[in-house]
Amino acid sequence: MTDFSQLVQPDRGGPAHAIHLVDKDSFDGWAKQQSPSRRALVDAARFDGKKGFEFLILPTGQGDEWEVVSAVANVADLSPWCLARLAEALPQGRYRLAEGDPGPAMLGWMLGQHRLNDYRSSPDPERGARILLTQQASSIEQAARLAEATAMVRDLVDRPAADMGPADLEAAARALAKEFGAKVAVTSGEALSQGYPMIAAVGKGAEAERAPRLIELRWGRDGAPRLAIVGKGVCFDSGGLDIKPASGMRLMKKDMGGAAHALALARLVMAEKLPVRLHLLIPAVENSVSAASYRPGDVLASRKGLKVEIHNTDAEGRLVLGDALAKAGEDQPELIIDFATLTGAARVALGPDLPATFANDDGLAASIEAAARRVTDPVWRMPLWDGYDEMLKSDLADLSNAADSPMAGAVTAALFLRRFVPEGTPWAHFDTFAWRPSAKPGRPKGGDAMGLRAAFAMLEARFSA
């Protein structure tokens, strides 16, 4: 893991290249203050402060010293990503803002220098660290923890499914528990079949070395409010017997993105020592095709006691989450949060950047939305529309795992999950993509954390008050 805390350091007044930030409103004023020779260079480069993340290196007129001018969206309100392009592209060295302090932009500066290189025979050449200096030394640690959690999601999701099966998710949970003094319990085999029949059914088509399991991590002091975090850990999703086409299967290594988010959120909760009793649950399976695979038309028992008719074996994530949510609710938590790469319908509705967020409590939903705005980690609330519950009716069992209609797919999936949450328990569900289809500064193409920082900011506000 990148040592993020070394990429931003306290400013003790040593030499560093200055970074001037301008936006479309402040550019003209800045440009008028430049010497004729510097203004000529700016004009020659056609730099006008209006082109997003463009930057320019300018001589200072003192020997071989130089500084940077960079365009941002809003000088007065820096985003987490406004310095990320600089962190990716500038030469090795030490930098400081000419005016003000980086604040939330520390995060992008850190993450702009992180890459997973485990699968390259010739990794990108080491260019040395770009170090940003700040007067806000007390903010460095939390920015580094946010960067570590984000990088954790990215690295787990980016790994090929061959290296990220149920046992590997268990290993990640055990490593996290060791780091923070938590306890891990794993249910598998016959105990899984008896106690969590939907998890067992979805995973029984996989080979023995990729057998299904429920991973649980517990941390915190007695008497603190209980917080349950659940993450969908489908380590590869072929679709089962309702097999996906090749185009739909290509990215299915990322179907454990919910588990990656849950692990990362648990890391933040423990690293920040939030006063909670944490219960992390990850149903880890591979939805494979074999003679043992569960079938369309099967009726599955569940931990909650509901019987579920299988309309589509490719709607497996809600099944494993259903058993995990039922277990989470047994401890009567004050709050349940789940993350899942659950539906293509959420992506059709909101695209890749916006996690579809559902909540059974308006106050909880409002706190998530406020936190998302505060930390620039966007989410979009979707409705738990009671009228669509009838789409999950089964002629044979208590409910179906998918609707006959192609409409409202994200909503009906969330309504299915709601059946397994205890009535009266606040619950939020993030249907997140966990993948960035094209690169942006500080956010390379591939696995990414979406909704993670918003959820943590909400938890901080809720439990630190």
pLDDT for res 290: 97
Which one, of 216, 219, 231, lies nearest residue 262 by Cα? 231
pLDDT for res 464: 85
Answer whether residue 447 shows pLDDT above 90.
yes
pLDDT for res 61: 85
pLDDT for res 439: 96
Answer whether residue 38 shows pLDDT above 90.
yes
pLDDT for res 126: 61
pLDDT for res 128: 85
pLDDT band at 465 (very low <50, low <70, confident <90, very high): low
* pLDDT, tens digit, 9 for 90 and up, residues 354-363: 999 999 999 9
Beta strand 130-134 with 183-188 is unpaired
pLDDT for res 26: 94
Answer whether residue 84 shows pLDDT above 90.
yes
Please report, in angstroms and rounded to a whole number, the separation of the first and last CA atoms in the chain: 32
Long-range contacts of 64-69 (CB under 8 A, 24+ apart): 65/17, 66/17, 67/17, 67/18, 67/19, 67/20, 67/98, 68/17, 68/18, 68/19, 68/20, 68/95, 69/19, 69/20, 69/21, 69/22, 69/30, 69/42
Catalytic residue among 159, 210, 277, 318: 318
Catalytic residue among 39, 94, 204, 244: 244
pLDDT for res 121: 86
SS3 category, 20: strand
| Mean pLDDT, rounded, for 165-194 | 98
β strands within 72-164, DSSP E: 93-97, 130-134
Answer whether residue 171 shows pLDDT above 90.
yes
Q: Secondary structure of 359-412 in the HEC alphabet? A: ECCHHHHHHHHHHHHHHCCCCEECCCCHHHHHHHCCCCCCEECCCCCCCCHHHH
pLDDT band at 226 (very low <50, low <70, confident <90, very high): very high
273 is catalytic: no
Which one, of 238, 270, 274, lies nearest residue 253 by Cα? 238
* pLDDT, tens digit, 9 for 90 and up, residues 99-156: 999 999 999 999 999 999 899 887 666 678 999 999 999 999 999 999 999 999 999 9
38 is catalytic: no
pLDDT for res 83: 96
Encoding tokens for residue 456? 């943590």
* pLDDT, tens digit, 9 for 90 and up, residues 252-303: 999 999 999 999 999 999 999 999 999 999 999 999 999 999 999 999 999 9
| Mean pLDDT, rounded, for 45-65 | 87
pLDDT for res 124: 67
Q: How many CB atoms within 10 Å of residue 173? A: 26
Encoding tokens for residue 386? 């009671």
Q: CA-CA distance, 456 to 451, in Å (whole number)?
A: 9
| Mean pLDDT, rounded, for 327-339 | 98
pLDDT for res 27: 94
* pLDDT, tens digit, 9 for 90 and up, residues 383-405: 999 999 999 999 999 999 999 99
Encoding tokens for residue 241? 């017997």
Report whether 45 contacts 34 (CB < 8 A): no
Answer whether residue 333 shows pLDDT above 90.
yes
3-state helix, strand, coil in the chain (%, to 5): 40, 20, 40
pLDDT for res 122: 78
